Structure 1
């Protein structure tokens, strides 16, 4: 079992395929949502002017990623379910 996993991992590395490609879309969405909320929290707690600029750009970037994944999920027919 361990050898099979190592073979798969080495193939992924050789082909430069991002591991997140194999992460389920629902997990990617949840991670992106968490990153966006974290960026907002960082912005609310930073005081240095340069860091405020960085935090604002970071919020925009994480929001774009999250909205992209939401659109992709809708396109693929992924729906939220209270039973998951």
Structure 2
């Protein structure tokens, strides 16, 4: 019984787990910039007071995400311009 469990564990542990595919930093930056612009657009088009508060928080969150990714890109020596 112990041998069967050991063999089973070895088989499970030896299987390759596929690597997760994440978007590149440049793709993440562009997506974050679009999210920020969309949040600003949403804020400009909403009228309900509760939704205005939500839109303001959405702008702040997306701006912080974009700034974080910009800092990361600078730290890694990447040059990014949304106007390319």
Q: Which runs of 5+ in 1 are unaligned?
A: 1-6, 13-18
CA distance in structure 2 between the aligned counterparts of 1:64 and 1:41, rounded to whole angstroms: 17
Which residue in the other structure is 1:69 paired with? 69
Q: Which runs of 5+ in 2 are unaligned?
A: 1-16
Structure scoring higher RCO (CA < 8 A, sep ≥ 6) equals: 2
Which residue in the other structure is 1:40 paired with? 40
When the two chains are superposed, the root-mean-square deviation of aligned CA atoms in Å is: 1.9
Question: How big is the shift at 1:45?
Answer: 0.1
Question: How big is the shift at 1:80?
Answer: 3.3
With normalisation by structure 1, the TM-score equals 0.71
* Greater per-residue helix proportion: 1
The structure with the largest alpha-carbon Rg is: 2
Q: Could you list the structure 1 runs, at least 4 aligned residues long, displaced by more than 4 angstroms after superposition.
A: none
What pairs up with 1:5-44 in 2 under 5 angstroms? 8=18, 12=20, 22-44=22-44
